[in-house]
Amino acid sequence: MSSQENASFEHQGRPGKGQRLAGLMIQYGVGVRARSTCFINSVDENYFSDA
């Protein structure tokens, strides 16, 4: 194996490390930007209660 192939193999040798980093970045909002947001509405039961 050439040194270039070895370097490429070592770079790919830790699967999941990049996925974990990406997950943490998304979780804590570091270096990411929201492209869309999903809102889930629920009925406010206090709004309809008799006062």
Over the chain (51 residues), the average pLDDT of each successive run of 10 is 55 72 93 91 87 59
Q: Contact 9/17 with Cβ under 8 angstroms?
A: no
pTM, entire model? 0.42
- 50 Rama sector, left if φ>0, alpha if ψ -120 to 50, beta otherwise: beta
pLDDT attached to residue 11 = 54
